[in-house]
Amino acid sequence: MDKLQTYTLSVFTENRPGLLGRITIILTRRRLNIENINVSESEVKGVHRYTLAICTTRERAEKATAQIGKLVDVLKAFVHSESEVICLELALYKLGVTPVNRPAVEQVIRQHRAHLLDVNPEFMVVEKTGQRSETEQLRLDLEKYGVLEFSRSGQVTVTRPMKALRSYLAEMEAATA
């Protein structure tokens, strides 16, 4: 039996309402949980990129990706292993601060190479960009100072081995001409 791993699905689409729902239905029917999701514009005007992280076997990830690729409005869908992608995420931390704990909090922030976004007498907001393990470690280190709010973005991912999206689109256009 194949080992469970985290796979990243890159789905390039036209920007149409309801498409996210159709993609998630495919994954739900296959009992695949979305661990992380991000949707944004791509490098090609009019094309959006859905980045979804799922924990499954390679075979199940490939089957789900193939089915997603058949959806109307999906231009191309890929599945990538962890070694084939570069992932970062953004985390925001809102901390209650006092004159007593402020120096210690600022020291932790410097150690993690995080940034202060907002500081006022009652709280501060800290931003950290990095790997999931880095943003999680900062959260754990700040817990003792009172994290009032915490929010983490979905993965922002680029792939290592893939050719440019424009190349795939040109091939698709040539095949239909």
| Rounded CA separation 14/20 (Å) | 11
User: Is the pTM here over 0.85, yes or no?
Assistant: no
Residue 44 — very low, low, confident or very high, per pLDDT cuts 50/70/90? confident
Question: Per residue in 20-40, pLDDT tens?
Answer: 999 999 999 999 999 999 999
* Mean pLDDT value across residues 163-168: 70
What is the set of domains in the chain, with CATH numbers?
A: 5-80 (3.30.70.260), 86-152 (3.30.70.1150)
| Residue-averaged pLDDT of the chain | 91
Listed in sequence order, the residues at least 6 apart from 51 whose beta carbon sits closer than 8 Å to its beta carbon are: 8, 9, 10, 11, 36, 37, 38, 39, 154, 155, 156, 157
For the stretch 85-116, pLDDT in tens is 999 999 999 999 888 889 999 999 999 999 99
Alpha carbons 129 and 112: distance in angstroms, whole number = 10
Model confidence band, residue 161 (pLDDT cutoffs 50, 70, 90): low
3-state helix, strand, coil in the chain (%, to 5): 35, 40, 25
CA–CA distance, 27 with 81 (Å, rounded to integer): 17
- Per-residue confidence (pLDDT) for residue 69, from 0 to 100: 96
Torsions phi, psi of 57, nearest 5? -90, 160
